[in-house]
């Protein structure tokens, strides 16, 4: 939503007033207020007079944004009127780019050169109703790196839910204890139910086959950084996505985010029966991207990005099984045959390293084009940025930095040497 | 215990002396020391001379209390001579009131306006041998909000206990690692065993059908605040307690705490076979309260407090089942028929929101009289107060406050709007 | 390794250069560099010229050691070239003694008199793929007491490992989130695999029947402190080790560490079939210690140290069962009959307190010679020292101390009184 909308909604929220009561308080007609609240590109939209903006400030207290805070919190809150990230659908290109810039400003902390304590005293409820250690630790560490504390819950059962407690009750109770909440839940839509019952910042950490928006954001963040290093832009680039494109929420969200850019050539390669859902393909086409679909890795033609995902054999049913390709593995031979010298290879991880798995092979581990660990590392600055924005402290981070006194290795993994030389 | 007792006991503890050795050190007779150690209201009690108090200070180092620390730590320690809260039985009215005032002083932190780091460097062992996510997170978040760190254990098995380790060994080992301990355990009495093996602060987080003292304290805290808002006092008020009064340790402890006040009219409504235990009823009567018992919700007559608890059908045995009332649900219709405009409705949560459950109905969720989330929110200031007192820093909190830099919502839940207007 | 080796390896690491490229950069021959990198006591070792050392400093930036940092980090890193502790084999006597001095400097924090925040902003990944609450809490609390934050994982399954992820991938992914890692894993060698995939500090928290080096270090730390109190030295002392000496990784590592000292008389008492492995016995003999092996507690002769471990009946197979001694319990009667007035009694805990267990009896709990809780308490300063060294902040701790504002008990357990009087 536009900035005007964001200010009005937040002020009503802060003053705890309905639209009618708010119009009364401002001394304007309800109809005028309604026009100011319309989307900027809609027909009836009107800009609100400056004097009203000033009155709002004096009534509702200074807009946090006016202290130098960015307006990203308001823009991220557009979908629900609350500082919550449930889906990548909230992003337009400008918001995505602005968000990425905040994430980049977190790099000195993420790389352990600097320490910030801006969230000292704040508590994160890191609620994983489905186990996912890496995602949980990534969110937790990101919050800690801003100075906050973390309360974790793990595992499938939440004792009070087992006693018949509603998701709404659980959400509201936990909201009394913490300052921000990450929720992962095996059922699609349950995170949205959770978020609807609280005004605290809520981040969807994955809800079944639904969304996992921070994964898509860190994918995009990685692509931007790799392209910056290579002197490329996302506009006009070619992206190949390989694997099970039907069940992977990760690739669904990524396609949506990439579609915000221009003139992409997207190659979708999946075994039959595991294709990308029609609606997502059509939506990307509608935005002007060239989409090609295939079921063979032979369709790969030196893409700028090769994004691989795992294929679980048990997911290939009926007809699919017969059509199962001999080899759906992304390995050194394939990369040599079908990638260029600067193709960037990505994967959401974990990858299946058991022999014969149709997944990204470890024989590529020392290939500098393999960016999978730069990609997981990106989870920290991206999640830090999200917490900082949703809690309204993104503008305070830079001023809060001090040097980290402990010793960090110049590269994290033995195979990272090559990566560092790239930069 | 009185302040004199507390000082003497703490000094013996600090000097690590027996009574006889302590009397020797002071140059007084053992018999004189014994009279000073008697309860203030007992027959043989004598006040100790000022000069002895001064000698004690010079021997044992300054009493922490003399630095401006409150004497609440000593008074809470009266039961066991240690800074531990195992049961609400330690409270008299004055101690309960003094405790509530400390809890109220935590509100600016609990409401996220202020940050304190007074316990920075301290570590809480948050030991849940029985899962209870909400209680665990509430204790953990309260400790974090004072600046401390939390080590959690969750789940039923404690690996070394499975190898035959005694509770006493477990307690003493953990005591070497942390600064305060919360224990929840499925067996009644096990928390007391745990506490007997350590001199660290221990809080009973619930031991089976035994006690859950912090729940009772937050219930009382909520009642006090709601009554303050409504201009009522606990003395002389009417309280109705509804549901399974036999198994609910929560309502048992609450009755004990309420009994410290004067002239209450208490209505206990439970299905037959789930009545409040006789001894608790008689103890409350003995303190001069009027108790009425009934098995039908028709007995409700515009109480000041309506405290509802869940009824689990499986707990109603034999005769009880036939006597099972058609409807034992606290819902909008009941409240309309039998409550006044300022009846405060409480529930210890979780409530069962599955259809047909004999529990507090969610059709009351937007009713401003429903105080159940104000009640769970109260867990933070109450548990903060307890930690601060038991660790001897309650007098340091006020001086340690600074503004919280992050943005908090003006109300936590969508239905809280009504609550805020109440104030 | 020697200091010269450590400096060279660390500089190559920091500059991210191979040996050949590093020699090039220094303008020396690869052969010269190789001789400088040989162990100090080897034939071809040469000292590197001072001017080269100065050049290295100007190329690689100041050696952290030159800021006043100790060289312990480099010496601990000798085994793998990385700041990791996987086995006690890395210790020679001098390193062990130097390490113990750092651990002693942590006592004011471990005893809760002082607070340090030197690791504020750092995050520990505390990965327990096998449950061990006490060890996990001990590592976590030690990291917190240096000011850091902790992300725990517990339980046997790591969800992404279950999906076929390699240990190397897991290690590298987690390395992107945290600053140091503790790993406990049920399979021997898996911690080394984990450590091989990261340059972050890694501590082996126990890998099946493999190693548990911090337990051996805290055992040695306790022995040193008890002997200091008694005016004894480890050199020339007598040590009896009793119990299941075959399966106990603890006693294996302890024998290795004790063997670094001189002229010990070591008595190994185990039921037949549970004897100490041959190679460990022979290695200790080869270092000049007198080893006596027996299967009866009658062989105990007033040792300076009596180190007891648990015997699990199910581990005694075949022939062993018939040879099972009537009584293999270390209790008051045995200690009275076979120990001196200053024999120090140790046990790695947990001990089996169920009736009839062949373990250390609780009838010794108030005996001041029983040092088992002083021993578990030692886990905190030992693990703090390890974190401080591996993260390169051991020289910063002393300057970072401030008083702890909260109240700590003068003794942790009721039976500790006797212990305190010892000092």
- DSSP letter string, B360-405: B-GGGTT-TTB-HHHHHHTHHHHHHHHHHHHTT-GGGTGGG-EE--
Residue A163 pLDDT exceeds 90? no
| Stretch (H or E) spanning B57 | helix B50-60
| B306 burial via Cβ count (<10 Å: 0-12, 13-18, 19+) | buried
- Residues B229, B371 within the same domain: yes
* CA separation for the pair A135, A148 (Å, rounded): 17
Pick the residue from chain B with its C-alpha nearest to C377: B176
* CA separation for the pair B349, A169 (Å, rounded): 9
* CA separation for the pair C206, B159 (Å, rounded): 14
- Is residue B141 within 8 Å of residue A178, measured between CB atoms? yes
Q: Give yes or no for B236 touching A (CB within 8 A).
A: no
SS3 of C371, please?
A: coil
- Which pLDDT score, from 0 to 100, does residue C311 have? 82
- Is residue C15 within 8 Å of residue A420, measured between CB atoms? no
Give the domain CATH number at C318: 3.40.50.1370
- Residues C112, C27 within the same domain: no
SS3 of A172, please?
A: helix
Residue B316 pLDDT exceeds 50? yes
Whether residue C343 is contained in a domain is answered as yes
Q: Are strands B180-185 and B123-128 parallel, antiparallel or unpaired?
A: parallel
What secondary structure letter does DSSP report for B5?
H
- Surface of C (109-138) touching A: CB under 8 A: 118-123, 125
Using one digit for the tens of pLDDT, what is the confidence trace for A228-281?
Answer: 999 999 999 999 999 999 988 899 999 999 999 999 999 999 998 899 999 999
Whether residue C76 is contained in a domain is answered as no
Number of Cβ pairs < 8 A linking chain A and chain C: 134
| Total domains, chain C | 3
Pick the residue from chain B with its C-alpha nearest to C380: B177
| Contacting residues of C for B153, CB less than 8 Å apart | 133, 137
| Contacting residues of C for B170, CB less than 8 Å apart | 134, 350
| Contacting residues of C for B13, CB less than 8 Å apart | 409-410
What secondary structure letter does DSSP report for C325?
-
Query: Average pLDDT of B140-165?
Result: 84
Average pLDDT taken over every residue of chain C: 89
Whether residue B297 is contained in a domain is answered as yes
Pick the residue from chain C with its C-alpha nearest to B196: C414
Interface contact C409-B164, CB threshold 8 A = no
Between residues A46 and B90, which one has the greater pLDDT? B90
- Is residue A116 within 8 Å of residue A401, measured between CB atoms? yes
Residue A44 pLDDT exceeds 90? no
- Residues A125, A107 within the same domain: yes
- Is residue A340 within 8 Å of residue A380, measured between CB atoms? no
Pick B160's closest partner by Cβ from C133, C379, C412.
Answer: C133
What secondary structure letter does DSSP report for C265?
E
Pick A391's closest partner by Cβ from B117, B357, B407.
Answer: B407
| C154 burial via Cβ count (<10 Å: 0-12, 13-18, 19+) | buried
Interface contact A200-B412, CB threshold 8 A = yes
Whether residue B410 is contained in a domain is answered as no
* CA separation for the pair C390, C19 (Å, rounded): 24
Interface contact A112-C179, CB threshold 8 A = yes
Interface contact C199-A409, CB threshold 8 A = yes
Pick the residue from chain A with its C-alpha nearest to B131: A159
Among C159, C154, C221, which Cα is nearest to C184's? C154
Q: Give yes or no for C153 touching A (CB within 8 A).
A: yes
SS3 of B19, please?
A: helix
- Residues C102, C28 within the same domain: no
C-alpha distance across the termini of chain A, in Å:
37
Categorize the per-residue pLDDT at B422 as very low, low, confident or very high, splitting at 50, 70 and 90: very low
**Range name among B13-27, B383-397, C123-137, C187-201 with the lowest pLDDT average:** B13-27
* CA separation for the pair C145, B178 (Å, rounded): 10
- Which pLDDT score, from 0 to 100, does residue A320 have? 47
What secondary structure letter does DSSP report for A267?
E
Pick A160's closest partner by Cβ from B133, B359, B380.
Answer: B133
- Is residue C129 within 8 Å of residue C183, measured between CB atoms? yes
- Residues C329, C388 within the same domain: no
Among C4, C150, A380, A199, which Cα is nearest to B415's? A199
Average pLDDT taken over every residue of chain A: 89
Interface contact B164-C420, CB threshold 8 A = no
C-alpha distance across the termini of chain B, in Å:
37
Tokens representing C127 are 């990965």
- Residues C55, C142 within the same domain: no
- Residues C250, C177 within the same domain: no
Whether residue B343 is contained in a domain is answered as yes
Interface contact A199-B413, CB threshold 8 A = yes
Q: Give yes or no for C347 touching B (CB within 8 A).
A: no
Whether residue B385 is contained in a domain is answered as yes
Q: What angle do CA B303, B306, B310 make, to 5 degrees?
A: 150
The nearest CA of chain B is from the CA of C214 a distance in Å of 15
Find how far residue B137's CA is from the centre of its chain: 16
Using one digit for the tens of pLDDT, what is the confidence trace for B402-414?
Answer: 999 999 988 898 8
**CB hemisphere CA count around C9 (13 angstroms):** 22
> A50-60 and A3-15 are packed helices; what angle lies between their axes, rounded to 10 degrees?
30
- Mutation site, B113, B120, B218, B413, interface A, largest A CB count within 10 A: B413
Tokens representing B76 are 């809470």
Tokens representing A149 are 């504390």
Domain housing A23: 3-67
- Which pLDDT score, from 0 to 100, does residue B423 have? 41
Tokens representing A50 are 């400056």
- Residues A363, A237 within the same domain: yes
Q: How many helices (H) and strands (E) does chain C have?
A: 19, 12
Regions of chain C where pLDDT drops below 50: 62-66, 319-322, 419-423
Pick the residue from chain A with its C-alpha nearest to B136: A151
- Residues B143, B279 within the same domain: no
* CA separation for the pair C214, B152 (Å, rounded): 21
SS3 of A191, please?
A: helix
* CA separation for the pair B241, B266 (Å, rounded): 8
Query: Average pLDDT of B322-331?
Result: 70
Count the residues in chain C: 423
Interface contact B160-C134, CB threshold 8 A = yes
- Which pLDDT score, from 0 to 100, does residue A248 have? 86
Using one digit for the tens of pLDDT, what is the confidence trace for A327-371?
Answer: 789 999 999 999 999 999 999 999 998 887 889 999 999 999 999
Among A390, A419, A411, A412, which Cα is nearest to A79's? A390
Return the CA Rg of chain C.
Answer: 23
| Contacting residues of B for A170, CB less than 8 Å apart | 134, 350
| Contacting residues of A for B329, CB less than 8 Å apart | none
Domain boundary among C67, C92, C118: C67
Categorize the per-residue pLDDT at B421 as very low, low, confident or very high, splitting at 50, 70 and 90: very low
Residue A32 pLDDT exceeds 70? yes
Count the residues in chain B: 423
- Surface of C (291-320) touching B: CB under 8 A: 310
- Residues B189, B320 within the same domain: no
Whether residue C25 is contained in a domain is answered as yes
Give the contacts of C69 (CB within 8 A, at least 6 positions apart).
Answer: C63, C392, C394, C395
Tokens representing A220 are 């995009």
- Residues B357, B388 within the same domain: no
- Which pLDDT score, from 0 to 100, does residue C49 have? 80
Tokens representing C213 are 């080096």
- Which pLDDT score, from 0 to 100, does residue B317 have? 55
- Mutation site, C59, C146, C172, interface A, largest A CB count within 10 A: C172
Q: Give yes or no for C165 touching A (CB within 8 A).
A: yes
- Which pLDDT score, from 0 to 100, does residue A25 have? 83
- Surface of A (186-205) touching C: CB under 8 A: none
- The 10 Å CB-count burial string (b at 16+, else e) for A326-344 is eebbbeeebbeebbeebbb
Find how far residue A1's CA is from the centre of its chain: 18
Domain boundary among B376, B393, B412: B376
Place of tokens 């197979």: C317
Domain boundary among A358, A376, A394: A376
Give the domain CATH number at C15: 1.10.260
- Residues A251, A302 within the same domain: yes
Tokens representing C384 are 């703090």
Between residues A367 and B62, which one has the greater pLDDT? A367
- Is residue C8 within 8 Å of residue C48, measured between CB atoms? yes
Pick the residue from chain A with its C-alpha nearest to B145: A121
Q: Give yes or no for C408 touching B (CB within 8 A).
A: yes
Average pLDDT taken over every residue of chain B: 89
| Contacting residues of C for A404, CB less than 8 Å apart | 121-122
Kindly provide the ipTM of the predicted complex, given to two decimals: 0.86
* CA separation for the pair B237, B264 (Å, rounded): 5
> C133-145 and B167-175 are packed helices; what angle lies between their axes, rounded to 10 degrees?
20
Query: Which segments of B164-271 does DSSP mark as H helices, in order?
Result: 167-175, 190-196, 213-230, 249-258
What secondary structure letter does DSSP report for C330?
B
Pick B413's closest partner by Cβ from A149, A163, A198.
Answer: A198
Whether residue C206 is contained in a domain is answered as yes
- Is residue C391 within 8 Å of residue C199, measured between CB atoms? no
- The 10 Å CB-count burial string (b at 16+, else e) for A225-236 is bbbeeeebebee
The nearest CA of chain C is from the CA of B418 a distance in Å of 38
């Amino acid at each position: 939503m536009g900035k005007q909308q964001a200010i009005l909604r937040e002020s009503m929220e802060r003053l705890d007033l309905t639209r009618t009561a708010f119009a009364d308080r401002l001394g304007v007609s309800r109809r005028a207020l309604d026009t100011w609240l319309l989307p900027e590109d809609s027909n009836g939209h009107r800009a609100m007079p400056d004097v009203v903006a000033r009155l709002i400030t004096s009534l509702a207290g200074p807009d946090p944004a006016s202290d130098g805070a960015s307006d990203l919190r308001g823009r991220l809150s557009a979908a629900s009127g609350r500082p919550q990230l449930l889906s990548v659908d909230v992003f337009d290109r400008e918001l995505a780019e602005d968000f990425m810039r905040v994430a980049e400003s977190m790099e000195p902390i993420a790389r352990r050169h600097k320490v910030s304590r801006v969230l000292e005293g704040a508590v994160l409820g890191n609620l994983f109703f489905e186990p996912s250690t890496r995602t949980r630790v990534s969110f937790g560490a990101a919050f800690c790196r801003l100075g906050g504390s973390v309360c974790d819950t793990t595992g499938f059962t939440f004792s009070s839910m087992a006693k018949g407690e509603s998701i709404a009750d659980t959400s509201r109770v936990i909201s009394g204890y913490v300052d921000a909440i990450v929720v992962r839940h095996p059922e699609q839509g349950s995170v949205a139910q959770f978020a609807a019952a609280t005004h605290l910042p809520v981040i969807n950490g994955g809800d079944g086959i639904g969304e996992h928006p921070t994964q898509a954001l860190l994918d995009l963040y990685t692509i931007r950084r790799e392209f910056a290093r290579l002197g490329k832009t996302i506009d006009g680039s070619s992206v190949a996505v390989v694997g099970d494109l039907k069940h992977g929420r990760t690739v669904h969200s990524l396609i949506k985010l990439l579609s915000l850019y221009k003139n992409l050539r997207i190659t979708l390669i999946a075994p039959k029966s595991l294709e990308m859902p029609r609606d997502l393909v059509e939506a990307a086409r509608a935005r002007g991207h060239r989409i090609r679909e295939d079921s063979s890795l032979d369709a790969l033609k030196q893409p700028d990005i090769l994004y691989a995902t795992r294929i679980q054999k048990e997911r290939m049913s009926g007809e699919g099984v017969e059509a199962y390709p001999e080899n759906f593995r992304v390995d050194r031979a394939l990369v040599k045959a079908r990638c260029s010298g600067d193709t960037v290879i990505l994967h959401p991880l974990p990858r299946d390293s058991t022999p014969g798995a149709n997944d990204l092979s470890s024989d590529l581990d020392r290939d500098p084009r393999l960016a999978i660990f730069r990609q997981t590392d990106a989870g920290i600055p991206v999640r830090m940025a999200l917490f900082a924005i949703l809690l309204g402290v993104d503008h305070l981070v830079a001023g809060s930095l001090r040097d980290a006194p402990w010793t960090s290795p110049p590269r994290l993994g033995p195979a990272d040497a090559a990566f560092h030389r790239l930069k």
